[in-house]
Chains A and B, each alone.
Chain A
Amino acid sequence: MKAPALPSANPLALRDRMKIQRQHMPEQSPEDRKTNFHEVNLGFSAELARQEALRCLECEKETCMTNCPVGVDVREFVRLIVAGDFAGAAAVVRKDNVLPAITGRVCPQEDHCEGNCVLRKKGESLGIGYLERFVADYEEQMGIRHLPTAEPTGKKVAIVGSGPAGLSAAGDLIQKGHKVRVFEALHELGGVLVYGIPEFRLPKHIIREQLDYLRDMGVEFETNVVVGRTVTIDELMNEEGYDAVFVATGAGSPQFMKIPGEHVIGVYSANEFLTRINLMHAYEFPRYDQPLIDFRGKDVAVIGGGNTALDAIRSALRLGARKAYVIYRRSEAEMPARAEEVKHAKQEGIEFQWLTAPIEFLADGKGWLNAMRCVRMELGEPDSSGRRRPVPISGSEFEIPIAVAVLAIGTSANPIIQSTTPGLMTDKRGYISADEKLQRTSRKGVFAGGDIVTGSATVILAMGAGRRAGKSIHDYLTTGEW
């Protein structure tokens, strides 16, 4: 049960609060930022944060909280910002969200808290994401730590994957007194946060700080372990003594289009392109060893309309691309990318070609990409996703000269865990079948959540699954009931 709301600290009458404009996030200018990988958004000062927080109407019916996947108590943390208690505000966020500095940067707030904000109906919603980021950064700057106080339960939980779902579950479980160890396949922790999301949107030091916090809370981490290959789930449970396992390995495998020319040099999957840049620092070649095609002066296209597509094309621009296109088969309205990223991309000079799809990649005599054949699309009848299906317009084929293409058209299930864990049921697409609320799989003691269950979604939805798993695992470990 939620405690009753505390008295407002806001001195302003409601009508005066509504007169305050939404505060702008200070950011690097488009001209500057497109030549570097530093963070675009610079963060609120205490003054800006307080000014923004003053806009909150402190609605009795907290619509901002109804569809937060992790259930952050928005009204209370905003109230504490108004009261000037930033540490208290951070503590409130942290009760429900162990990665606040990350979600404050990458969560699509317009689909969750801000989308339901009453202020939005009258103008612009409260900048809840910006405020969350502010208190998270404040907490880190002040070195504040809330360490678990629960008595050890003697139970051990293995978490497979150190992405948002895994970390979220780890943070919740460690606070319940369980021993938690997170296994990561790559050499660096963070999963998609570290290999997928670029520095200019989510700096690596932020991820490391949030991981350090979890480490201080007692979470153990082991890198270079591909569960299913290095050790199986059965070995973790039978030989290493884990009482429960949470599988949070992410969606994994990049999809290709199955059109001619996908093997020519210069065609990357977004996962590979972004992994080279983010995880392997290829943008710092040759100071780092992992190479990347030299983008300087080249024309580049990304295929897709999600956040990954925008992360990729904006990275290409920063690598020195001359022209940078986003090619998307539906129209702007259907783009799944966050509104802020689309806005930022447009400001940076990214050119959008909506209702367009590639049909062939063309190579020069040496096997290097030099053009992409495309076709224009129109929207037909709604498909299974409810969105209108894009249909090619015959005779509209044309070529775009490009030297690099990045495919950001989605992912499919990575099969390693499923194929090495007997009795683990999957759906017909190969994702792990798990209960929607309890995150239980067909195997006793094995839970799953995040993209490996749902297919590609967002950081915050994965964290929501991690929280549900954390609660469900705790219930299982304390009652023994399955």
Chain B
Amino acid sequence: MFKILQTQQLAPGIKRFVIDAPRIARKHLAGQFVILRVYEQGERIPLTIESSDVARGTISIAVQSVGKTTHLLTALEAGDSILDVVGPLGKPSEIAKFGTVVVMGGGVGTAEARPTAAALKAAANHVISIIGARHRDLVIFEDEMRAACDEVFVMTDDGSYGEKGFVTDKLRQLIERGTKIDLVLAVGPIPMMKAVADLTRTVGIRTIVSLNPIMIDGTGMCGGCRVLVNNESKFACVDGPEFDAHEVNFDVLVQRNSMYREEEKLEMNQFESEGDSLLERIRTGELQPCAIPGETK
């Protein structure tokens, strides 16, 4: 059991958790993730580590409620526990002196990109960050990014805060203005990362993306997270999660991430009607592994 020590609502539907996980905190490097399982009947999902504190023995994650598991997770509060947390998994971000690096965060991806931005800054890069969200309420980690980077641009789809437009609009503007960019790191929704890749490919700027395929074990054992990179199968959990954006086949990633859409809908509907009692049963420890398997569906 991994105790939640602290929570913070970052934006509507996005919550930050500080979790007691001393082993993971000690080993965490920017770019790595954990896999967690909230309760006995729960699924395993990967989430990028947003920060760690070795002295306190804690890690933090930022979670956006999308499906059943993330809705359940964001309903948890300080004092609750998460049944299983394993990590840190994946290769850490490549940190070196590149020169000028643009770190792009879309939605909750901003929280996930922050540790890498900070590490790049510490490695004497000039770090420009472009963070984006649909609406001003959903802009997160702006202060943290300002603390970590040399320059920060905020973009909103509807122009309710910062500049109106997508993060790629700002990147294009920087490129057109002649800013010499040595590396771009993009973390966010797949369409955003694909758009960034398409843009930088045309101008030949090396670009790294952090991929988020469906994953189970996270140790290279199942192959479920395979992604097509340079026309070769790679396992995001051990070969990634970061890859050269210009080599990633995003269409395959989108397709594979959609394969359980029907099941996810069903689970979400079930959660909407039974979520409160589920939460109650998790808190009272009533949900236990069953020794006898059920019949097939």
CB interface residues, B 51-101, toward A, < 8 Å: 68-69, 83-89
Contact, CB under 8 Å: B68 / A289: yes
A225 on the B face (CB < 8 A) = yes
User: B37 contacts which chain A residues (CB < 8 A)?
Assistant: 187
Q: Which residue of B lies closest to A291 (CB)?
A: B263
Contact, CB under 8 Å: B264 / A275: no
A35 on the B face (CB < 8 A) = yes
Q: Which residue of B lies closest to A368 (CB)?
A: B259
B203 on the A face (CB < 8 A) = no
> Interface segment, A116-124, A210-218, A249-257, A299-307?
A249-257
Q: Which residue of B lies closest to A256 (CB)?
A: B233
**Smallest distance from the beta carbon of A216 to chain B beta carbons, Å?**
18
If A263-B252, A285-B297, A289-B41 touch, whether A187 touches B259 (CB-CB below 8 Å) is no
- How many chain-B residues does the 8 Å CB contact rule pick out? 51
> Interface segment, A74-82, A276-284, A352-360, A395-403?
A276-284
> Interface segment, B120-128, B194-202, B217-225?
B217-225
A185 on the B face (CB < 8 A) = yes
Q: Mark A192-218 against chain B: 1 for CB-CB distance below 8 A, else 0.
A: 000100010001110010000000000
Contact, CB under 8 Å: A284 / B294: yes
Q: Which listed residue, B41, B228, B256, B291, touches A288 by the CB 8 Å rule? A: B41
B24 on the A face (CB < 8 A) = yes
Q: Which listed residue, B88, B216, B249, touches A275 by the CB 8 Å rule? A: B216
Contact, CB under 8 Å: A276 / B293: no
Contact, CB under 8 Å: B256 / A319: no
User: B294 contacts which chain A residues (CB < 8 A)?
Assistant: 283-284, 287
Q: Mark B283-297 against chain A: 1 for CB-CB distance below 8 A, else 0.
A: 000000001111111
A37 on the B face (CB < 8 A) = yes
User: A229 contacts which chain B residues (CB < 8 A)?
Assistant: 27, 87-89, 219
Contact, CB under 8 Å: A253 / B43: no
A20 on the B face (CB < 8 A) = no
Q: CA–CA, A285 to B291, complex, Å? A: 16
A265 on the B face (CB < 8 A) = yes
Q: What are 10 A-B interface contacts by the 8 Å CB criterion?
A: A35-B296, A208-B291, A230-B88, A254-B223, A263-B252, A265-B256, A288-B41, A290-B44, A291-B260, A291-B263
**Nearest 4 CB-CB pairings of A with B:** A291-B263, A269-B223, A272-B222, A290-B43
Instruction: Given A36-B296, A195-B217, output 7 extra A-B contacts at Cβ < 8 Å.
Output: A195-B221, A204-B293, A226-B218, A289-B68, A290-B44, A291-B264, A292-B263
B-binding residues in A (CB < 8 A): 35-38, 185-187, 195, 199, 203-205, 208, 223-226, 229-231, 250, 252-254, 256, 258, 262-265, 268-269, 271-272, 275-276, 279-281, 283-294, 296, 318-320, 367, 414-416
